[in-house]
Amino acid sequence: MNPLTFDTMIASYLLNAGTRQHGLDALAFNELGYQMQSIEELIGKGKNQISMADVDVNTVSWYAAEDADITLRLKEIFEPRLKKEELESIFYDIEMPLIEVLACMERFGVKLDVGLLEKLSDQAAKEIVELEKDIYKLAGEEFNIGSPKQLQQILFVKLNLTSGKRIKTGLSTAAGVLEQLVGEHKIIEKILSYRELTKLQSTYLTALPMLVNTRTGRVHTSYNQTVAATGRLSSTDPNLQNIPIRGHGIGAEVRKAFIAEKGCKLVSIDYSQMELRITAHLSQDKNMMDVFKNKEDIHTNTAAAIFDVLPGEVTDDMRRDAKTINFGVLYGLSSFGLASRIGEVSRSGAKEFIDKYFAQYPDVQMFLENIKAEVNEKGYIRHELGRIRKFPEIRSSQFFIRAAAERAAINFPIQGLQADVLKIAMINIYNEIKGKDDE
């Protein structure tokens, strides 16, 4: 593959990561005021659609030449803008080399143990039937478990359980609400298990085998390079970045269905506590850096600080709450939000946890406050490697919109840098193994 030199979609994405309009038609209209010829004009649509091979050559040539012409014009617009906004390094050193890596990953795909998924699907189906029976018995009647309205009636009217958040259609039966009711009635745990299993069944166990390419015998996802405003990649058809790793026993087995060809091995490479290590690096907080330098557990260390106990006295529940705080703070989580996530803690108690967190890691607080000040002053944030994210909504007259922009800005230097470090690693690994298929 000859190395690509410029991609207008990626250039547009880097310059305006907060929008989704990076396709050629949209860019032609927005940047040049030009309406491109649509594919429907050539081949029609629906039942009257014809093959491109049946279209007149002169007509097709215009369509093809238009694509090339507009692409070149956009390059001439975007190239100087990338230089002006100091995005050349991100563009040429990370995003452009990554195209070849992702194309290769999509082309090769990943082999799937369809037999294992079918076995897990059969097992899940049996467990779902048993859970349905248990739920009906505990409810005292049969009903549509998947219907929020009928579930509301059973839980909050018939069983008179503690109601939570009210929404347009009545009382919420969302997972977060039900999780807070665990222990109040046996039916709650059964419903949560039922939901988890039915989602596993529909999303993975039955869906993945249907997506295996008949020619290659592999699943070929599509990686989206120009969607997430933070710079993160996403994966669709199917989403291979969201395969279960823990939870229900069957869910934890799904990953085992991704296998290597005979005679080969799958290699798993990951960074440990990446977001928190980046936070320690960017904030230069001595206490947090020492945790990692001394190879201690960051969540245990945080738990010891907020619960006023020695590290050896930290319980699993304490560590779990500390983990929620560690990551929640990086997403601008308020005391109200923290209280709702931890449970069994008041808003004032959650505020006390956050205060103790910042007392333990004072330079992290200073770093986050500096980010807030910067986004309010400049309207954008640039992370350490140069990627920028613009926040025009920070100028909004609506407080809640400005607050949401601040929360997103707080996390961008961390999440954005994490995304780019991963991309660099992908490029380096690809260059290391490229051309060594037969070795």
What burial class does residue 174 get, using C-beta atoms within 10 Å of its C-beta: 0-12 exposed, 13-18 middle, 19+ buried? exposed
Angle between helices 8-15 and 24-32 (to 10 degrees): 60
Q: What is the pLDDT along the chain (439 residues), one digit of tens a residue?
A: 567 899 999 999 999 998 989 999 999 999 999 999 888 888 888 888 888 888 888 888 888 899 999 999 999 999 999 999 999 999 999 999 999 999 999 999 999 999 999 999 999 999 999 999 999 999 999 999 999 899 999 998 899 888 766 666 667 888 878 887 888 899 999 999 999 999 999 999 999 999 999 999 999 999 999 999 999 999 999 999 888 876 667 888 899 999 998 888 898 888 999 999 999 999 999 999 999 999 999 999 999 999 999 999 999 989 999 999 999 888 888 888 888 777 677 888 888 999 999 999 999 999 999 999 999 999 999 999 999 999 999 999 999 999 999 999 999 999 999 999 999 999 999 999 887 765 5
233-261-201 Cα angle (round to 5): 60
3-class DSSP state of 18: coil
Q: What are 392's two structure tokens? A: 């025009």
User: How far is residue 345's CA from residue 353's CA, in Å, rounded to a whole number?
Assistant: 10
H/E stretch holding 435: none
Give the alpha-carbon dihedral of 49, 55, 61, 66, to 10 degrees: -20
CA distance 158 to 352: 38
Residue 261: which of 50, 113, 95, 409 has the closest Cα? 113
Encoded amino acid at 126, one letter? K
Residue with tokens 């910042």: 358
Say if CB 357 and CB 350 are below 8 A apart: no
Q: Tokens standing for 410?
A: 């707080």
- 400 by DSSP, 3-state: which? helix
Integer angstrom CA distances of residue 182 from 67, 177, 261, 343: 57, 9, 43, 11
Output the pTM of the full model.
Answer: 0.88
Contact 240, 223 (CB under 8 A): no
